A = this chain, B = another copy of it.
Amino acid sequence: MAVTIKDVARESGVNVSTVSRALNGEYGVHADTREHVVAVAQRLKYRPNRVARGLVTGRSHTLALVVSDIRNPFFAEVARGAEDAAYRAGYDMLLCNSDLDAEKQMRYAQSLMEKRVDGILMNSVSALSKKQQEQLSGLGVPTVLLNRTAPRSAFSTVCAENEAGGAMAAEYLLKLGHRKIAHLTGPRHHGNMTERAKGFVARLAAARQPVRPEVLHGTNDFPGGVDLARKLMAQNPDVTAIFAASDMMAFGAIRALMEAGRRIPDDVSVMGFDNVELASIVHPPLTTIHQPKYEMGQAAVEILLRLAGRGEHQAPEHRVFGVELVERQSCMERKA
């Protein structure tokens, strides 16, 4: 039905191998024949079957991005950066939503390597057991982990300076004169979030007059923020500043605080982490720690492409991105 390389060969009176070489711009075919073949191919509207090509070359020119949920604006931004980089290199990108579900994650991984993807960009493997992680890295397909420092594993990684970011937040809140401080974060052992907390409390503890923040664990999303903020108001009504481990949690906290009649930043200052687009849209505009999401996605596929290039020889690569505080209007000096 579709026109194949054989049709082009027959029509232009040469062998299929010559057509292949001509069309792929390989060395060793006369300029005249190449020209002729190209013309015929164009006339017949020939389009190579990449599946067939993939079978013999062993490469699919396809990457995969597996995130917990593309609706999370953080991942959407990363995805865009990744896809742009892939597109530029002539690669396509599969999208997978894992919900951080271990079984789903493994099923995806299986399917992806059955399709011979050239590389996988994964959000997190924290839900996976040690054995599953080994199984994954044993698949032999280049993999880079996002927002995860895994120095000793076979995986490459791309992440932000989470710990430094936490410290920056602490520094800022301290500078504004806050002493009663809380930290709202995700589940325990959440990788990068844990790091943020670590940097935050460490910096607070290192102050001239050390402060021990209240840290509450919950789910890393809007409802989680609402929930934790309510809990906080119940048990520690006198906090004047809150640092949330993600913007979404910060939004939730703001909602809960407003509903309780607290003014922001007048009564309580709120900080986030990520700097998603909405951070500048909400009211009040959120002061937060920016991490370069787009660039991180981009960098991840660049690593992937490098890894996929050199066949077996894959020493993992690691890349960490700087963060910066972007000051908006959700924080102010503590009233005297």
In the assembled complex, the CB of A30 is this many whole angstroms from the nearest CB of chain B, namely 27
- CB contacts under 8 Å to B, within A289-319, are none
Q: Please name all residues of chain B whose beta carbon is closer than 8 Å to the beta carbon of A73 when the two chains form the complex.
A: 71, 73, 76
Q: In the complex the two chains form, what is the Cα distance from A282 to B281 in whole Å? A: 8
> A283, B281: Cβ atoms under 8 Å?
no
Q: Which residues of B contact A69 (CB under 8 A)?
A: 80
Q: How far is the CB of A250 from chain B (nearest CB, A)?
A: 10
When C-beta atoms are compared, the residue in chain B nearest to A71 turns out to be B76
* Residue A274 at the chain B interface, CB threshold 8 Å: no
- Count chain A residues whose beta carbon lies closer than 8 angstroms to a beta carbon of B: 46
Chain B residue nearest to A285 in the complex (CB): B255
Task: Spot the interface stretch: A11-19, A107-115, A178-186.
Answer: A107-115
A278 sits at the interface (CB 8 A): yes
Whether, in the assembled complex, A47 has its beta carbon less than 8 Å from a beta carbon of chain B, the answer is: yes
| A102 within 8 A of partner (CB) | no
- CB pair B60–A71 under 8 Å, yes or no, is no
Residues of B within 8 A of A198 (CB): none
Nearest residue, chain B, Cβ from A2 = B140
CB neighbours (8 Å) of A112 from chain B are 92
Cβ contact within 8 Å between B222 and A47: no
**Chain B residues, Cβ within 8 Å of A281:** 222, 251, 255, 278, 282
Contacts of A195 on B, CB cut-off 8 Å? Answer: none
Find the B residue at minimum CB distance from A248: B281
- Contact at A93–B92, with CB atoms within 8 Å? no
Q: A312 to nearest B CB, angstroms? A: 9
Kindly identify, within residues 74 to 109 of chain A, every residue whose CB is under 8 Å from any CB belonging to chain B. Answer: 76-77, 79-80, 83-84, 87, 92-97
**Nearest neighbor of A79 in chain B, beta-carbon distance:** B70
Question: Is A31's beta carbon under 8 Å from chain B?
Answer: no
User: What is the CA–CA distance of A139 and B177 in the complex, to the nearest angstrom?
Assistant: 65
- Contact residues in B for A284 (Cβ distance below 8 Å): 283
B70 near A76 (CB under 8 angstroms)? yes
Closest chain-B Cβ to A247's Cβ sits at a distance in Å of 10
Kindly specify which of A48-56, A146-154, A161-169 makes contact with the partner chain.
Answer: A48-56
Q: Is the CB of A97 within 8 A of B115?
A: no
A29 adjacent to chain B (CB < 8 Å): no
A178 and B72 CA atoms in complex are apart in Å by: 36
Q: Which of A52, A96, A115 has the most CB of B within 10 A?
A: A115
Residues of chain B within 8 A (CB-CB) of A84 are: 97
**Which chain A residues have a beta carbon within 8 Å of chain B's beta carbons?**
47-52, 54-55, 60, 62, 65, 69-71, 73, 76-77, 79-80, 83-84, 87, 92-97, 110-116, 222, 251, 254-255, 258, 277-278, 281-284
Selected A-B contacts with CB under 8 Å, 28 pairs = A47-B114, A49-B55, A49-B114, A51-B54, A62-B94, A69-B80, A70-B70, A70-B80, A71-B73, A71-B80, A73-B73, A76-B76, A80-B97, A83-B95, A84-B97, A87-B96, A92-B112, A93-B94, A93-B95, A95-B95, A251-B281, A255-B281, A278-B278, A278-B281, A278-B282, A281-B282, A282-B282, A283-B284
